[in-house]
Structure 1
């Protein structure tokens, strides 16, 4: 089996080397980039399975990189940031990052997060084709269509829709969605789900204008209804 390729974008050499060591020991192939303005070309060159992306970089910042990547690719992205302001993390999520990690962090936690995001990006062991009204989700190809038009989703957005379309009309709490989609939870992650739901709603509404497919049940969570 070919090792999955992880692109680590980090300008602090000590941190980049630590991540390289831990990820390599776990069987991943790792490439390192230290400047933001070199990332887009490197992604095109190596087609990584996932990118660990620092927020503060010389040349081009992580937010700008993520925004550019999302114009052309659903590459799984985990943002790494030393910033403590919640708004920075939310901006990253709203433009398409799948997860975020705050410095200082445990390298083992980073490895666990990488594995969790990659699991969400892989096809299901028991693939199904799920249909709800005009929405069709294929777990084998990881493609979603609405009235025949493709709906382009990140791994986290696909995971959310997959969970909800399998149980239409069921109300999911944020904690349930975190457990089912992220595979872990901790303080502050309710806002992560909210950001992914916001992105998913926006994408669905572009193909189903005027329809409130994902409904907020205030004080409880969300449900999918067509």
Structure 2
């Protein structure tokens, strides 16, 4: 059974969602403020976090940022806010999905399962494969048809960018760099197929869950965040290049 950490101060909504999730087989714990939610993260070790935007002690985006400093667990923000700019702010803060109140319980379950499934498949716990370490130099010389999971990939010591799909971690110049689920998936596409031009729609299909709210604007936000994390000068990117009118491509250095 999967575990859900719900950070929600509204007792009516919290009790209703908790009851519904339990009926669907989830193990649920609920915290009513951001500080308690952050504290429960390591102890409860959830598979998914349902996070309210408005909390009594701190806003949900601040909680999201704090969680992203130590964990890549999928986060779904649930809020009365429904403007596109607010949804984009949630993605920038590290959220993987966003639902506006009021919402359908059936949709909530579908999205929760989608986020957990994507996360588990990506780290190999539900998928029957041995995932490789992906690196720019090891992959750049291989044809697209050869991009298949392998037990291991030799990576030279001077490697500049390295992805480990088992731990969902990225290292740039040997230094660990935190990524959200969507950022890692986009980077995995880029490293798998250097030089290939990805349209925004291509990248949408990579990060989209079941009916998840993901827009082309969100893709631009993810790209901007990745550039801040890997580029020496994000305003003059050398690795992630814009192909005007089409999308983006990755150029190994």
TM-score, normalised via structure 1 length: 0.86
Highest Rg: 1 or 2? 2
Name the structure 2 match of 1:39.
37
Which residue of structure 1 aligns with residue 102 of structure 2? 104
The answer on 1:214 being equivalent to 2:212 is no
Is 2:193 the partner of 1:167?
A: yes
Q: Using a 3 Å threshold, how does the CA distance of structure 1 residues 186 and 148 change in structure 2: closer, same or farther? A: closer
Partner of residue 140, structure 2: none
Q: 2:76 aligns with which of 75, 78, 81?
A: 78
**Which SS does the other structure have where 1:215 is aligned?**
strand
**Stretch of structure 1 that moved more, 180-189 or 114-123:** 180-189
Give the deviation of 1:7 after TM superposition.
0.7
1:41-190 maps to which residues of 2 (within 5 A)?
Answer: 41-122=39-120, 123-124=123-124, 125=127, 126=129, 127-133=131-137, 134-184=160-210, 189-190=215-216
Measured after TM superposition, the shift of residue 206 of structure 1 is 5.6
Unaligned runs of 5+ in 2: 138-159
Distance in 2 separating the partners of 1:166 and 1:70: 25
CA 199–208 in structure 1, closer or farther in 2 if over 3 Å, else same = closer
Q: Which aligned runs of 4 or more in structure 1 are off by greater than 3 angstroms?
A: 183-188, 206-211
Instruction: Summarize the Cα distance change of 1:145–1:209 in structure 2 as closer, same or farther, 3 Å threshold.
Output: farther
Counterpart among 207, 212, 225 of residue 199 in structure 1: 225
Residue pair 1:120, 1:181 contacting (<8 A) in 2 also? no
Cα distance change on mapping 1:185 and 1:225 into 2, 3 Å: farther
- Contact 1:8–1:51 (CA<8 Å) still a contact in 2? yes
Q: Where does the alignment leave 5 or more consecutive residues of structure 1 unmatched?
A: none
After alignment, is 33-42 or 96-105 more displaced? 33-42
SS in 1 for 2:72: coil
Equivalent residue number for residue 20 of structure 1: 18
In the TM superposition, what whole-angstrom CA distance separates every residue of 1:76-113 from its partner, at most 9, and x where no partner exists? 21111111332222222112112211122212222222
Q: How many residues align?
A: 224
Alignment RMSD, CA only?
A: 2.5
